[in-house]
A = this chain, B = another copy of it.
Amino acid sequence: MTRPSEVTRERITKAAERLFAERGYDGTSIRAIVAKARVNQAAINYHFDGKDGLYREVLRAAFRAMTEDQLAHAEEAKAMSREDALRAFIRRQLHPLMGRDEYSRYMRIFNWEAVRPTPVFRALVSEEAAPFMGLAANLVRRFLPGADPRTVTVASIWLIGQCSVFLRNREQLAQSPIGLVLDDAAVEWLAGLIGGWLVGGLGRQA
């Protein structure tokens, strides 16, 4: 692996990540990225095979960062009770709320995709979402044994959605009217709250 070219790649992805988060895919030009990264314009085509390829790389990194924590603890969950596993899932799902602003950028990118998904995003999700969705589905099945696949899918999406409300609107919630700043303790409290509701709701349906 050649060193200097890795530097170029990294400078491009860092600059692109920031600009895509701020202005969205269409609002970000190749020329703006290379100016911020202080790199030649053709470098994006050389290293990433075009703007789409670069965006795909940024999306992939964001997606991985948001799911790797869950996937890493998949085995532990099996040994826990379904209630504890669910609460642990929720807590990890809310984990990006604490700490680095790297996650804020990722959430902004996903917010852009929520308004109007790009083809790149659709393709990536259909490839990479499977293992993560499988995790949620396994959890759901412990509460709804014997449920048909369609019900499991729906319940999994619903489960993930419970947390994404807080993830998606983190910036707005933290601002003036609400001022919901979530430190470690607050996230723990929030996770307990949501976890309780979900255990109650899913338990009742079983």
Complex Cα distance, B20 from A116, in Å, reads 12
How many chain-A residues does the 8 Å CB contact rule pick out?
Answer: 18
Interface string of A7-29 (1 = CB under 8 A from B): 00000000000000011101100
CB neighbors of B among A145-204 (8 A) = 154-155, 157-158, 161, 176-178
Q: Is A111 an interface residue (CB 8 A)?
A: yes
A115 within 8 A of B: yes
Contacts of A115 in B (CB 8 A): 24, 108, 111-112, 115
The chain B residue sitting closest to A178, CB to CB, is B158
- What is the distance, in angstroms, from A78's C-beta to the closest C-beta of chain B? 25
A112 to B114, CA, bound (A): 10
Cα-based distance from A177 to B158 in the complex (angstroms): 6
Residue of B with least CB distance to A179: B154
Within the complex, the shortest CB–CB distance from A116 to chain B, in Å, comes to: 7
Most buried by B among A26, A154, A155, A177: A177
Q: Which residue of B lies closest to A113 (CB)?
A: B115
For window 95-114 of A, CB contacts with B under 8 Å fall at 108, 111-112
Q: Which of B155, B158, B176 contacts A157 (CB 8 A)?
A: B176
- By beta carbon, the residue of chain B nearest A160 is B177
Task: Chain B residues near A155: list those with CB within 8 A.
Answer: 177
Interface residues of A (CB under 8 A from B): 22-24, 26-27, 108, 111-112, 115-116, 154-155, 157-158, 161, 176-178
